[in-house]
A and B are shown apart, each in its own frame.
Chain A
């Protein structure tokens, strides 16, 4: 296995080394600023797009859309998102895309201290960790075949494949009676997979002038059907915690995402942009409590501010800060993300 992995690295290194040499495609990329770059890659072009985002959850929005400062509730937390997207151009107007993310975040709850006798208080903590790969999205993007630098339109369709683990691992609750308080920490270990496939559709467009560009990007995810997961319960016997699991069904609501972006090409190598993003999740249901209960819809709104730097024709770096502006029944993090994008024409001679 190690030998195979080693051979894989050697092969990857060989391929990348081979493509570090100048290619014909470089002349295409050299003439494309961020502003005039088409919404899909060129025929034969392969793009690797990887990034890291720091998520700082310092506020949430309640069902009525009121902002709640999480530092008042003690729920503030941070998360880490690593994402990878690959694009390949089968034709000048047809692109295949795949993307997958790795998420890691931990949500704490308010401490509960129960005083039954003055000498024996009990402190309850609860941590819900969510960690792992998300499902794989595979999409085909069709660009409307107008050869123009003024506008672009792209239709996308695809499938979310439930390749990622979605059933939570056995919890790791802990009891600590060595301190002044008897502390019980409930630690739940959730995964980032959805457990069900989904249809994906998208529509995006861009209009450009010499220095400015205006674009939109709409994406919708429709979950195909019911899914099954497990929930864990724990019992304490002689200071030993034992766990049992049971199956339950749930249905995820549709999700959509809309981004409006205005951009300014300050210099050929520097593009500045300002955007508005809206995330919506529709109603679903869950039987995790034993009876079917409604999962309320969620809304998130944010403003994006960012810049893209063309490092070389093949490589660019994009940095975005996303500031929460509103929402409903959801956390809405401040997101700081940095991504690197590398392009090559792997089958070009």
Chain B
């Protein structure tokens, strides 16, 4: 009985306050909230549509001793990714998402071939490109512990990546003349838990996620038969600290730690023990229902991983 009374007392205390918070913002105002002030998931019936553009070049890497090194060859590679993303509030606690990415990959190399004994010398330059749909992603985020009046929430998420992009090199003429694949060739299930706390003008997030790779079969080396492969599963830890610079501009700071499992090709694991520590500062401009996000990712440290920065710009609108 005492427990029941105590529960009733708590409900009576918190429910009116909760109701007041709900009434504080109109639907229009909710659609104009920033990355800090927005609810943990989209409100029921809201749709957020966005377009993202990412650019990265290949220049440096962290070697087996976690030392940053330059790629010695003069190969130039760049990757441009653009994706359409949609998020929908199924209920006030459940958000569904769909991402449709496209990729443009480009690799070029030039070399001078000299054969002094035969007195021949030749310059060979080649460039290969791939353009097209990449791997589509479907996702669900659920407020396991719904956002309370203190703006704390615990979210669970599941994202499924489908191998919709072309996984194999196509139009193969020779090793220097073919079309690059734009897909990974394997499905991925990403499961995660996120803790979020808003304390205006700040917000904090901590998250852990685990990517399970399903593997597949694809042509890894041009001219050879398709091979069984499986990328290593990925553990991601993330911490975020975001704050308002003014009412419509938020500075976000994300730190990621990635731990990659061993990749397998034809049943053989590569045993690279890859990891990376990444810092991603972002600026998020909120102009009414429009949002423009810009981010540069810096790989601070790593082992057998890329050391190159990447640039991303996202434009979003809430309907």
Residues of chain A having any CB pair with chain B under 8 Å: 52, 54, 56, 70-78, 80, 106, 108-116, 125, 127, 129, 174, 183, 185, 187, 309, 311-312, 315, 317, 319, 336, 338
Contact = CB atoms under 8 A, between A and B. Distances in A.
A125 B72 contact: yes
A111 B311 CA distance: 29
A309 B249 contact: yes
Contacts of B294: 319, 338
A343 to B, nearest CB: 14
A123 to B, nearest CB: 8
A74 B311 contact: no
Interface string B105-137: 010111111111100000101010000000000
Contacts of A125: 72-74
B243 to A, nearest CB: 12
9 nearest A-B pairs in the assembled complex, by CB-CB distance: A74-B110, A76-B76, A111-B111, A74-B74, A108-B74, A71-B108, A185-B72, A125-B72, A115-B115
B309 interface: yes
A315 B67 CA distance: 37
A106 B111 contact: no
B235 interface: no
Contact of A315 (B111, B115, B245): B245
Determine the main DSSP class of B at the interface with A: strand
B283 A80 contact: no
B240 interface: no
Given A74-B109, A311-B246, A114 B76 contact: no
A54 B114 CA distance: 36
Interface of B: 57, 59-60, 70, 72-76, 106, 108-117, 123, 125, 127, 245-246, 249, 283, 285, 294, 296, 308-309, 311
A78 B57 contact: yes
Contacts of B59: 77-78, 106
Contacts of B74: 74-75, 108-111, 125
Contacts of A312: 245-246
B127 A71 contact: yes
B72 A71 contact: no
Contact of B311 (A54, A70, A185, A187): A54
A99 to B, nearest CB: 22
Given A74-B76, A110-B123, A116 B108 contact: no
Contacts of B311: 54, 336
A248 B82 CA distance: 50
Nearest to B60: A106
Nearest to A122: B114
Contacts of B108: 71-72, 74, 76
Given A311-B249, A336-B311, A112 B72 contact: no
B76 A112 contact: no
A174 B285 contact: no
Given A76-B76, A113-B113, A52 B296 contact: yes
A127 B72 contact: yes
Contacts of A76: 76, 108
A115 B296 CA distance: 43
